[in-house]
Amino acid sequence: MSLNPNAPRPKMEARELTLRYGTKAAIQKVSLAILDRRVTALIGPSGCGKSTFLRALNRMNDLIPGANHTGTILLDDMDIHDRSVDVVDLRRRVGMVFQKSNPFPKSIFENVAYGLRVGGMKDKSALEQRVEKSLRGSALWDEVKDRLHESALGLSGGQQQRLCIARAMAVEPQVLLMDEPASALDPIATAKIEELIHELKATYTIAIVTHNMQQAARVSDRTAFFYMGELVECGATEQIFTNPREKRTEDYVTGKFG
């Protein structure tokens, strides 16, 4: 596969990554590549370490006291834990959408503009353009264009989550990490988010953690199955769901446990 020049290269890659909270290992020696402009789904039962792995990719685990790691994570062949890497720059390149929608208690416009403002963008018309572009990108523009300066907290749950996606996209990251972005949403809102993910993969590299196997099957190109802190199997989504190599994967995707 690596000989094929058209094959996607890995955008991010974990090598032998072990992550501990204190002394308790949350993930053990995980080696996994997130391919460029592909959607990679991380699945597995609760507590299997998939969210921890996702949060390691933009160093959100740094915020948790006692979290430490061994192994390396590469972003375009650059070690993200290297001293020369500023974590703020890293997070601008690797954005994140959280499980629970978490818009700031500010207006819709200010929510999307926030990342741009802290990134130093001051020009008002440029800000407006980028906000509109991001909101269009997350298919929210038509619903909110007349109320941009109203509170984001007045939006519905699904709209709030799409706002969070717009907010993450506004800073134009290269990689978008999504931690169960639709788990708190109703089926219609979920469908909208999934549709959005389909569109976004033309421009972004996406890693998505999900509890919902159908969702993983629908949105992803590749699927990685985590179990008890280990990466059991990773491959093309179709292969994982129809012809898994490992017994544990098969048991999980067929619903024997979970």
Partner 1 sequence: MDRQAIMEQGLTQPLVAPLLSPAARRRQLREKVIAGFITLMAFTGIAALILIIIFVAKEALALFTEPEARHEASLSKMFLAQDVAPGRPPFRWQPVSKVPKVSMIPLFVGTLKTTAVSMLVAVPLGVFGALFAAEFAPRRLRELLKPVIELLAGIPSVVLGFFALMVMSTVVKEALGFDRPLNAMLAGLGLALAIVPVIFTVSEDALTSVPRSYREASLALGATPWETAWKVVLPAAAPGILAACVLGFGRAIGETMIVLMASGNADVISWSLGDSARSLSATIAAEMGEVVVGSPHYSLLFFIGVQLFIFTFVLNLIASTWTRRVVRKLTGGAS
Binding site for partner 1 (CB under 8 A): 58, 60, 63, 65, 88-89, 91-92, 95-96, 98, 100, 102-108, 110, 114-115, 117-119, 149-154, 164, 167-168, 171
By beta-carbon proximity to partner 1, the closer residue of 128 and 195 is 128
DSSP-derived 3-state class of residue 165: helix
Structure tokens at 240: 């994982």
Per DSSP (E only), the strands in 159-249 are 175-179, 205-209, 222-227, 230-236
By beta-carbon proximity to partner 1, the closer residue of 93 and 218 is 93
**Shortest spacing between CB 171 and partner 1, in angstroms:** 6
Structure tokens at 190: 């979920």
DSSP-derived 3-state class of residue 179: strand
**Shortest spacing between CB 154 and partner 1, in angstroms:** 4
**Shortest spacing between CB 18 and partner 1, in angstroms:** 23
Q: How far apart are CA 93 and CA 134, in angstroms?
A: 16
Dihedral sign, CA of 140, 218, 56, 84?
A: negative
By beta-carbon proximity to partner 1, the closer residue of 150 and 199 is 150
**Shortest spacing between CB 42 and partner 1, in angstroms:** 17
CB 34 within 8 A of CB 205: yes
**Shortest spacing between CB 110 and partner 1, in angstroms:** 7
By beta-carbon proximity to partner 1, the closer residue of 35 and 108 is 108
By beta-carbon proximity to partner 1, the closer residue of 95 and 244 is 95
Per DSSP (E only), the strands in the chain are 10-21, 24-35, 39-43, 67-75, 78-79, 94-97, 175-179, 205-209, 222-227, 230-236
**Shortest spacing between CB 157 and partner 1, in angstroms:** 14
By beta-carbon proximity to partner 1, the closer residue of 208 and 213 is 208
